[in-house]
Structures are given as C-alpha cells and as structure tokens.
Amino acid sequence: MSTAAVQPSPPARSGGAAAIGLILTIALSIVAPIVTYNTLVDDHGWSEASALLVSGVWPVLDSAIMVAWRRKLDEFAIVTLVFLAITAAVSLVGANSTRALLVKDSAVTGLFGLLCLATLLAPRPLMFYFGRKFGTDGTPAGVAYYNALWRFEGFRNAQRRMTLVWGVVYLIEAAVRIVLSYVLATSTMVSISPFMIYGTLGGLALWTVKFVKRTKAEGEKRAAAAAAAEQAGSSAA
C-alpha cells in the first residue's frame, strides 16, 4: 500500500508541558523584557541601549531554562539569541537622535524580514522552527511528529510560503515606517509606530492561523482522495 499521501497521527499532547513552556516563553521573552526596559528608562533614567541590553537577559534565561529542561538547544532559541544581538547592535548604532531611534525600530523588523527570506535558502525555513516551537508541547514525541511532517511536499511548500510572506510583509512594514519617520512629525510617528508594529504582527498571526487551517484541510482532502483511488484500484484488480 502506498503511504505517500498519508500523514502520521499526532501524538497525545502533554497539556501541562505545553502550557508551562508557553507561559515561560511569554513571561521571559516578551513581558519581562518590556517591563525591565520601561522601568530602567522611565524610572531610572538609563539609556535606551543599556536598558535594551539588560532586558535582553530575560530571553537568554528562557533559552537556558529550555536547554536544561529539554537537554538541547533548539533552532528557535538560536534565532532568538541572534535576533537579540541584531537588536542590540542596531540600538547601539542609532541611539543619538529621536529619528534614529524610530528608524532603529524599523531596521530591526526589516532585518527580521531579511532573516526570514535568507532562511528560504537553508534546508528548512524559519517558520518551520516557529511552528515547531509553538505548535508542539516540546516533548520528544511531539517534536519527532512535527519533524516527520517535513517529508510531505505540501507541508514543505506551506512552510516556505509562510516564511516568504512574513519576510516580504516585514520588509514592506519596515520600509513604510522608515519613510514615515522622515515625513511625519516625531510626536505623530511615536504615536502610530506601536500600532504599525503590533498591527503587522497581529495581521500576520491571523493570516498564518487561517493559512495553516486551510492547508491542513486541503492536505486531508488530497489524502482521502488518494486513499479512495487506491482502494478503487485494488478492488478493480
């Protein structure tokens, strides 16, 4: 029997492990850096670059905890560390003027877009690792199941398409914000920049969820059709 179109069933997820991993990632990689940065800059008068470097310790801690827990350094943790290094470097370069700081934010998202596109040349694109990070509970069975999906052409194409869309959209977002930083008043740009950042992220996340659901449904439809055709061929023989 041919199994080319039949995908394996996902293993039972460890809800507790998935919840703990997600909570740690959100708390240490998102919430803690923001709180630390704002506290140091607003309440203690630290420079943006110094505050950013200190707040970057939290995601490093998150990666360290995951390495100790899973006993491996996954690609998502590596990408997180690289992205933090890029952010810190750009901040150190552009910490001399308000406009430079605004452009810095755009440069960071633009560099992320370039990183997405660059990984299209790698064996597996960036969104594959994001999907494995947030789409599994991180257990060996869950990771092995997700890795096994790579042998299916439809899954590979979907991962590359998602990575392409994220990369292109973030490059466009960065270009638009850089232009607006020089066209609009600084006070206006400071107000609308966060909406552009989180609006872009929210829009991409919503599109990704819908795209994954549609792709999964199409894959299941193709698998059912292939199974029906194979069964009909066996009956005819």
pLDDT digit string (tens) for the chain, length 237 residues: 444 444 555 555 555 655 676 677 778 777 787 788 778 878 888 876 677 667 767 877 876 776 676 665 555 566 666 666 666 666 666 555 666 767 777 777 888 899 899 999 999 999 998 888 777 766 778 888 889 999 988 899 999 999 999 999 999 999 998 899 888 887 787 778 777 877 888 899 899 989 988 988 887 787 777 777 777 766 665
pLDDT of residue 87: 63
pLDDT of residue 2: 42
pLDDT of residue 195: 79
pLDDT of residue 23: 77
Place of tokens 């064996």: 123
Determine contact, residues 105/163, Cβ cutoff 8 Å.
no
Read out DSSP for 109-178?
Answer: HHHHHHHHHHGGGSSS-HHHHHHHHHHS-SSHHHHHHHHHGGGSHHHHHHHHHHHHHHHHHHHHHHHHHH
Rounded to whole angstroms, the Cα distance separating 207 from 201 reads 10
pLDDT of residue 77: 61
Give burial (CB, 10 Å; 0-12/13-18/19+) of 43: exposed
Of 181, 34, 178, 185, the closest CA to residue 106 belongs to 178
Rounded to whole angstroms, the Cα distance separating 35 from 39 reads 6
Place of tokens 């406009």: 99
Determine contact, residues 104/90, Cβ cutoff 8 Å.
yes
Half-sphere exposure of 118 (CA within 13 A, CB side): 7
DSSP state of 44: T
- The number of residues making up the chain comes to 237
pLDDT of residue 123: 93
pLDDT of residue 236: 64
pLDDT of residue 113: 92
Place of tokens 């996954």: 74
Determine contact, residues 49/91, Cβ cutoff 8 Å.
yes
pLDDT of residue 55: 75
pLDDT of residue 4: 44
Determine contact, residues 145/11, Cβ cutoff 8 Å.
yes
pLDDT of residue 218: 82
pTM: 0.67
Rounded to whole angstroms, the Cα distance separating 58 from 27 reads 9
Rounded to whole angstroms, the Cα distance separating 30 from 128 reads 21
